[in-house]
Structure 1
Amino acid sequence: MAKDALTLKNEANSALKEGNISKAVELYSEAIKLDSQNAILYSNRSLAYLKLEDFGLAINDASKAIEIDPNFAKAYYRRAAAHISLFQPKDAVKDYKMAVNKAPNDVTARSKLRECEGLLKKIRFQEAIQVSDPPSALENVNIDDMDVSADYDGVELKAQMTEEFVFNMLERFQNGKKLPLKYAYSILRDIKEHYEKVPSLVDVRLKDDETLVVCGDTHGQFYDLLNIFKLHGYPSHTNKYLFNGDFVDRGSWSTEVAFTLYAFKLLYPDSIFLNRGNHETDDMNKVYGFEGECKAKYNERTFNIFSETFTALPLGTLIADTYLVLHGGLFSNDNVTLDQLRKIDRFSTKQPGQSGLMMEMLWTDPQTQPGRGVSKRGVGLQFGPDVSKKFCEANGLRAIIRSHEVRDQGYEVEHDGYCITVFSAPNYCDSTGNKGAVIKVKKDMELDFHQFEAVPHPNIRPMAYANGLLSGM
């Protein structure tokens, strides 16, 4: 017996509450086919898309709900949340104002409006005082003359990074301890200086006895990062790692993850490689928690120095002329070459913006249909299997390896093998139930996929340091 729209909606609502977001979207979509003028269905699916981080689709559904019912306050609220998720506070303020106008007694909407107006005011103030070429946050900081607090009970960080310091740091992080500011600044300074000499596309080759472990998003899930090392070994001269962006935000141990990766990079410069992700950017960090975490655990200067290290990170890694590893995906132009990627001036651009090769490398996603499509995220675009095949053949590649999206099994081989997604944050945000995965690559260039489950962590919720505007989504 065919189900009616109301039954499907109720089933979708249950799936949403249980965390089965993709199923909820499927059920809401079926209901919409039966009742295409029901604003509640579009608004509810908008919420599901928000949870999937498909912010462009969330905006479209909320807009459709408003078109059907211009007085539907919740739809304005949903659209505002999507705009905030994309760091579009001007648009969010407009929608929060409409939500309050349509539902003047809604205390939450009023609170969000005040918070969003405060954020917009702060942004405008920062824009007003910003100079064209601001000095480094490290300027006038004499790290060598800084003192280490007398209550610091860890290993001393000397001129060169040591194994003793790194493993003691990891132990201290597991016990909820922080780095002294002197050591935090020192690591960030040295990483910045290192990456300022590195090209935008890094070439990596493997010797007979070497393995490269390719990891996707880790998103501040420090205890899952330690589990990756437990399962596959710590970085060493023969056991190399490539982390493909999105080390920070959402998870509440983002500083620990970033300092761990940076410290290992300083210890073994030729054995750990880092690509920039779309969350190694100022706009995302201001919303999704990294800025707040830096201020809570260290100070504002720490965040500002981190930001400078993020702008210095390379945008992609080429493994033995065979696999291009980049965080998001491919391009709006079929004629992009690896040489063009090498020549990207990431130091002038700094932040990816809304267009250009850097933005596309960090933000785009694969789609099943041929050609290119409008981004479900609201930033970038989507590219089909024909795009992947053409790019790989033109550049002599076997495949691209990208991250940027949750996969239930931790990875997915897509586009007839020309596009591979790997995601290394299991049970993402403690809610999705996905596995994590890594890809092991050896000199023969065959790919070996390894899955793993999430491990327990201290009782601190994800997004604990995120902008309050994202709560209650």
Structure 2
Amino acid sequence: MSLEIQQKQTTSPEDLEQAEKFKTEANEYFKKQDYNRAIDLYTKAIEKNPNSSVYYANRSFAYLKTECFGYALADASKAVELDKSYVKGFYRRAAANMSLGKWKEALKDFEYVTKMRPNDKDAKLKYNECNKIVKKIAFEKAISVDDKKKNIADTINLDAMTIENEYTGPELEDGKVTLKFMKELMELYKNEGKLHRKFAYKILIDIKAYFMAQPSLVDVPIGDDDKFTVCGDVHGQFYDLMNIFELNGLPSEKNPYLFNGDFVDRGSFSVECIFTLFGFKLLYPNHFFMSRGNHESATMNQMYGFDGEVKSKYSAQMAELFTEVYNWLPLAHCLNKRVLVMHGGLFSRDDVTLDEIRKIDRNRQPPEEGPMCELLWSDPQPQNGRAPSKRGVGCQFGPDVTENFLKLNKLDYIIRSHEVKNDGYEVAHNGKCITVFSAPNYCDTMGNKGAFITLNGRDMIPKYTTYEAVPHPNVKAMAYASSFLSLMC
């Protein structure tokens, strides 16, 4: 406490005034959804006056918007530490904990606020909603322990599903995906139609069986003269996915693709994206590849919209089946034994080998630490060494970490996704760590370009194609997201 008093005494009136100016400017950038600029300015305000809980809470909110959940949590905790009566600080900390799937920690903050302000209806509402979720998760956990061996896929009776006369959409041929089916499916989706549930379930059952037979690290050979395309996050932006195929050609045996995780969530056409991608995987199993992202998980899907979208368009049973399927998605791909592709990044240990990745037991929800977690969650940083993750999960790794990993595993470079980039891609770590992000104007707000990478088997030199967002029907991003997220705004 004496340190706080000391700081307050040394903060001059000029600094206090300058800090307020930075905060006001930051708020304007926040309103324009330029969150990175807002963060810079809130930081300047904090440097001038480190005693304001408001500055930390505001920066926490901006960090939440940029998915830096770890930083958001630290700032919200600082806001609470500075002023235990500042309700917004507790709300921000609860939001950060919820974004990390830490519902019990969030509930503690709401409980504290309701005790502090027993007549605050808004606080009571948030407490009740959060309490419901905690109880629901505990109930589902108890059921899953009792029913561990039961697979949703085994309970689906396709024969009992009748196709109504009025259904005019595409149909599988002898239970198989064909190119004709895929073309009709994409047209159906462009016109906001829905695939019949019988065919949707059949695709999910078949794709699960396929992925179950795959290793956690898939080796992908590419012929010398063959082109290969790597795409990053598409996040439920179906019309932008269609634009990728428009620009680069439909997937085929002559035009192979790898989609590097985060196929769903946030964008409100996630169902259309995932069935299109799974359909192409079944059609061209040896020329179309999919890596798991951090959003192919139950917690993320419940928060950011996919779970709600599947329940709205199909059923709760199908949402559970998707969780089963996602648990079997491969974690990484090695192209021509020269390039490793994963969604997140590298590791908190120096000795991780390709063979260790290959043997990861991946049939589960992502753990909070270890190689599987880091493959899905980690991010590069410009300075050498490692640091705690800005997201609160995984780690941040520097150019030396990348160099050592490549040397140990005799690789040229890595490709990862996971982060919005203004140009849709970024080359870091002396050209050895490439980020590709394929969802332009992410969440209908970020204004970024999307990108994909093409390379050939002979030289494996990456080439970048960037593109702007295309129009989509008037369904906003996050339309199916947890109602709790809107409560936190």
Matched with 2:318 is: 302
**Aligned letter for 1:234?**
L
Matched with 2:274 is: 258
> 1:326-346: CA deviations, max 9, x gaps?
000001110000011111121
> 1:254-289: CA deviations, max 9, x gaps?
111000000011111112100000110111111111
Supply the distance in 1 between the matched residues of 2:474 and 2:154 (Cα, whole angstroms): 37
> 1:364-401: CA deviations, max 9, x gaps?
11111211101111111111111011101111111111
- Determine whether 1:142 maps to 2:150: no
Supply the distance in 2 between the matched residues of 1:106 and 1:445 (Cα, whole angstroms): 60
**Aligned letter for 1:226?**
M
Further displaced range: 264-273 or 6-15: 264-273
- Determine whether 1:470 maps to 2:485: yes
Supply the distance in 2 between the matched residues of 1:401 and 1:127 (Cα, whole angstroms): 36
**Aligned letter for 2:398?**
G
Matched with 1:67 is: 81
Matched with 1:281 is: 297
Matched with 2:405 is: 391
Supply the distance in 2 between the matched residues of 1:262 and 1:139 (Cα, whole angstroms): 19
Matched with 1:270 is: 286
CA contact (8 A) 2:170 2:195 kept: no
- Determine whether 1:437 maps to 2:451: yes
> 1:398-434: CA deviations, max 9, x gaps?
1111011111111100111121111111111011111
> 1:224-270: CA deviations, max 9, x gaps?
10011111111011111100000011111111100000001111111
Matched with 2:122 is: 108
Matched with 1:355 is: 369
Change (3 A) 1:106 1:436: farther
Residue of 183, 190, 198 corresponding to 1:182:
198
Aligned residue for 2:145, secondary structure, equals coil
Instruction: Give the CA deviation at 1:110.
Output: 2.6
Unaligned runs of 5+ residues in structure 1 are none
Instruction: Give the CA deviation at 1:176.
Output: 1.5
Instruction: Give the CA deviation at 1:124.
Output: 1.1
Paired positions, count = 471
> 1:275-330: CA deviations, max 9, x gaps?
00011011111111111111000001111111111111100000101110000000
CA contact (8 A) 2:169 2:196 kept: no
- Determine whether 1:130 maps to 2:144: yes
TM-score (norm 2): 0.94
**Aligned letter for 1:294?**
V
**Aligned letter for 1:302?**
M
- Determine whether 1:446 maps to 2:479: no
Supply the distance in 1 between the matched residues of 2:350 and 2:409 (Cα, whole angstroms): 11
Residue of 200, 207, 214 corresponding to 2:216:
200
CA contact (8 A) 1:49 1:57 kept: yes
Change (3 A) 1:248 1:416: same
Unaligned runs of 5+ residues in structure 2 are 1-13
Matched with 1:459 is: 474
Matched with 1:291 is: 307
Identity over aligned pairs, percent: 51
- Determine whether 1:330 maps to 2:346: yes
Further displaced range: 231-240 or 153-162: 153-162
Matched with 1:404 is: 418
- Determine whether 1:221 maps to 2:237: yes
CA contact (8 A) 1:24 1:48 kept: yes
CA contact (8 A) 2:343 2:416 kept: yes
CA contact (8 A) 2:217 2:358 kept: yes
- Determine whether 1:234 maps to 2:250: yes
Instruction: Give the CA deviation at 1:141.
Output: 2.1
Matched with 1:371 is: 385
Large movers: runs of 4+ above 6 Å: none
Matched with 2:6 is: none
Aligned residue for 1:108, secondary structure, equals helix
Supply the distance in 2 between the matched residues of 1:68 and 1:425 (Cα, whole angstroms): 38
Matched with 1:90 is: 104
**Aligned letter for 1:428?**
Y
Aligned residue for 2:252, secondary structure, equals coil
CA contact (8 A) 1:149 1:180 kept: no
Matched with 1:23 is: 37
Aligned residue for 2:293, secondary structure, equals coil
Aligned residue for 1:139, secondary structure, equals helix
TM-score (norm 1): 0.97
CA contact (8 A) 2:291 2:342 kept: yes
CA contact (8 A) 1:422 1:439 kept: yes
Supply the distance in 1 between the matched residues of 2:419 and 2:170 (Cα, whole angstroms): 38
**Aligned letter for 1:247?**
F
